[in-house]
Structure 1
Amino acid sequence: MLKVEDIHVYYGNIHALKGVSLEINEGEIVTLIGANGAGKSTLLKTISGLLKPKQGQIVFEGKAISAKAAQTIVKQGISHVPEGRRVFANMTVGENLELGAFLRKDKKGIKQDMEMVYDLFPRLLERLKQQAGTLSGGEQQMLAMGRALMAKPRLLLLDEPSMGLAPLLVKTIFRIIEEINVTGTTVLLVEQNANLALSIADRAYVMETGRIVLSGNAEELTSSEKVKMAYLGGS
């Protein structure tokens, strides 16, 4: 479904991604784990068109997208839930969700997807007329995910969905990620909580300083001594 080939990305003179390659098959949950500053968020921003690679290419469903504008990439079927949620604070929950469907014209489909988002996140229906900035962190995360789903993505990019959330809410968010995947959306997940990410993923890639240093199915990486020591608390 997605092929990233030898991507190099720079922030000014800083070489942030150094020849990153990965593949995602349709229907998978693939997770990217690694320390802060490893380049995980940079990779998601590059896939979604917010950053442009200096070298290499990204192919989604057989079409090169590396040079495409971010809104074109959304139209083609990739939605990005950024780190820190980035909801529109002064707009209501309902308005945020409607904005997610901004590029769509199929009114019936939009209505069905709105119902699907309410089924996944009943809390959003309760808060529909509330300003997004007044929601709790967990509710804002639900809203950011719901808004991304309103674009009807075939590939959903999730950047640190558990950040700053209470443990109980984290479990809820991860259960919902699995539900989203079961309904047919492929997921690329960046997550600091490596244990949790590996528990729901099919496959995983480990990033260090702008490079992929390990990859394999989630079970293999969970039992890898190197991964255990570096990312799973050594146990």
Structure 2
Amino acid sequence: MLLEVKNLHVHYGVIHAIKGVSFNVEEGKIVTLIGSNGAGKTTILKTISQILNQTEGEILFLGNSMSDYQPHQIVKMGISQVPEGRRVFPDLTVLENLQMGAYYRKDKEAIAKDLETVYMRFPRLKERTNQTAGTLSGGEQQMLAMGRALMSHPKILLLDEPSMGLAPILVDEIFSIIDDIHRAGTTILLVEQNANRALHVSDYGYVLETGKIIAQGKATDLLNDEKVKEAYLSA
């Protein structure tokens, strides 16, 4: 198993945000965590990346515990996160942002090849390669954040609300790119409030509510589950 989360508990001070969550991400799959705002989805991703520390439980990557690693070491292991709200470096150019994604890598030829792959996947980024990231549109910044994460050559990509704040036509484009990244061989853990779109591109899903998993199954089964449809897919 590529990623295993076992009995995860996370606290913000006295607030018990994540309450015994367990799930797996198999290599080569897209797994999605769906749930309403505040359910704990982002907290789980931040804990996997060791930006937050769990108070109980275990996170295993390729069978190895990650509790003793720092966030930059997590990236080097092969886990890269696209954070909620994009979080690009606004005063750096598009090219400089992408180069930051490969900051720990020494394989110059492979980095150059990956940069060309990112530019092929996101042609608008190539057009704006010398433009500062803060002047890009929201959709372009989302593409840049995804491209930057891909420059680390991850084994698994953590996507946190990639469609947030985007116009419907850009949402279509972002989900098409997610599908393309997956088809190219990257495993994806997707956190997304747009449950309908997330489940349509995913293999398996978990439904999170107030820090607990209340349902799970194949994405096609969840799409047809009456309770899930009523709570999360009716919009």
TM-score of the superposed pair, with normalisation by structure 2: 0.98
The one-letter amino acid paired with 2:162 is P
**Structure 2 unaligned regions, length at least 5:** none
> What's the counterpart of residue 97 of structure 1?
98
CA contact (8 A) 1:7 1:56 kept: yes
> What's the counterpart of residue 174 of structure 1?
175
Q: How does 1:56-75 map to 2 (within 5 A)?
A: 56-75=57-76
Deviation digits for residues 48-75 of structure 1, max 9, x if unmatched?
A: 1101101100000111112310011100
SS at 1:205 equivalent: strand
Paired with 1:104 and 1:87, the residues of 2 have a C-alpha distance of 19
SS at 2:177 equivalent: helix
> What's the counterpart of residue 77 of structure 1?
78
> What's the counterpart of residue 13 of structure 2?
12
Paired with 2:49 and 2:175, the residues of 1 have a C-alpha distance of 22
> What's the counterpart of residue 136 of structure 1?
137
CA contact (8 A) 1:47 1:66 kept: no
**Structure 1 unaligned regions, length at least 5:** none
The one-letter amino acid paired with 1:114 is L
The one-letter amino acid paired with 2:213 is I
SS at 2:215 equivalent: strand
> What's the counterpart of residue 221 of structure 2?
220
Paired with 1:183 and 1:20, the residues of 2 have a C-alpha distance of 29
> What's the counterpart of residue 194 of structure 2?
193
TM-score of the superposed pair, with normalisation by structure 1: 0.98
The one-letter amino acid paired with 1:181 is H
The aligned length equals 234
SS at 2:60 equivalent: strand
1:134, CA displacement in angstroms? 0.3
Paired with 2:61 and 2:119, the residues of 1 have a C-alpha distance of 29
Q: CA RMSD in A?
A: 0.7
> What's the counterpart of residue 202 of structure 1?
203
Deviates more, 1:131-140 or 1:60-69: 60-69
What percentage of aligned pairs have identical amino acids? 62
SS at 2:217 equivalent: strand
Q: How does 1:12-161 map to 2 (within 5 A)?
A: 12-161=13-162
SS at 1:177 equivalent: helix
Paired with 2:35 and 2:143, the residues of 1 have a C-alpha distance of 24
Structure 1 residue runs of 4 or more that deviate by more than 6 Å after TM superposition: none
> What's the counterpart of residue 163 of structure 1?
164
Deviation digits for residues 55-105 of structure 1, max 9, x if unmatched?
A: 100000111112310011100000000000000001100000000000100
Paired with 2:37 and 2:135, the residues of 1 have a C-alpha distance of 28
Paired with 1:70 and 1:168, the residues of 2 have a C-alpha distance of 34
The one-letter amino acid paired with 2:145 is A
Paired with 1:173 and 1:135, the residues of 2 have a C-alpha distance of 16
The one-letter amino acid paired with 1:6 is N
SS at 1:58 equivalent: strand
Deviates more, 1:225-234 or 1:108-117: 225-234
The one-letter amino acid paired with 1:205 is Y
The one-letter amino acid paired with 1:8 is H
CA contact (8 A) 1:38 1:210 kept: yes
Paired with 1:147 and 1:100, the residues of 2 have a C-alpha distance of 5
